[in-house]
Amino acid sequence: MAMNRTVATNRPLPFRIRVVEAEQYIPAHSHRKGQLILALHGALTCEVENAMWMVPPQYAVWVPGQLSHSNRATPGAQVCFLFIEPGAAPMPDRCCTLKISPLVRELILTLAERGGESLAAPATARLVQVLFDELPASRRSTCSCRYQTTRKFVKW
């Protein structure tokens, strides 16, 4: 499934999806919206607050809005970036790794595939609501390594 697009419409939506299929490094940045970074294939790392978060397939890292972070995808990775409007879903207020259920994964892929104006359709809005009900219930996991600014690993 080759998708490399950003979903956007003229109507305000509670989220935005972007899927990429290439090795890439995104330097430190932040967003107003929270960001769920899902590894569909391959893996990625996300650097947040002196910690390196590992994101294998079937997992995602949640980065709350306004939190500076950088991302690096492995060669051949397929990564989905889901941007969620603050308050649209009861997501954690701290960075964490989430185990993504098959249902949540398929909801995200379906929404990414639909794209464009169809995201404002009533049926699609219902899928978004199911996603926003299911996503906060995802099992949280700790897949991170903390480090000092010298990047030497420290005991935590």
Q: List, for residues 45-59, the tens digit of each pLDDT value.
A: 899 988 888 888 888
Q: Is residue 141 part of a domain?
A: yes
pTM: 0.78
Is residue 152, in this structure, part of any structural domain at all?
Answer: no
CA distances from 61 to 82, 98, 122, 131, 155 (A): 10, 6, 28, 16, 22
Task: Judge whether 153 lies within some domain.
Answer: no
Q: Is residue 89 assigned to a domain?
A: yes
Q: Containing domain of residue 126, as a range?
A: 15-145
> Does residue 156 sit within a domain?
no
- Residue 37 domain-assigned? yes
Q: Is residue 33 part of a domain?
A: yes
In a domain, 2, yes or no: no
Count the domains in the chain.
Answer: 1
Which CATH number does the domain housing residue 43 bear?
2.60.120.280
Q: How far apart are CA 118 and CA 126, in angstroms?
A: 12
- Confidence band of 80 (pLDDT split at 50, 70, 90): confident
Query: What confidence tier does 103 reach under pLDDT thresholds 50, 70, 90?
Result: very high
Side-chain-facing half-sphere of 39: CA atoms under 13 Å = 26
Pairing of strands 15-20, 144-146: unpaired
Q: Residue 119: which of 83, 79, 77 has the closest Cα?
A: 83
Mean pLDDT for the chain?
80
Quick one: pLDDT band at residue 156, thresholds 50, 70, 90?
very low
DSSP H or E segment with residue 114: helix 102-114
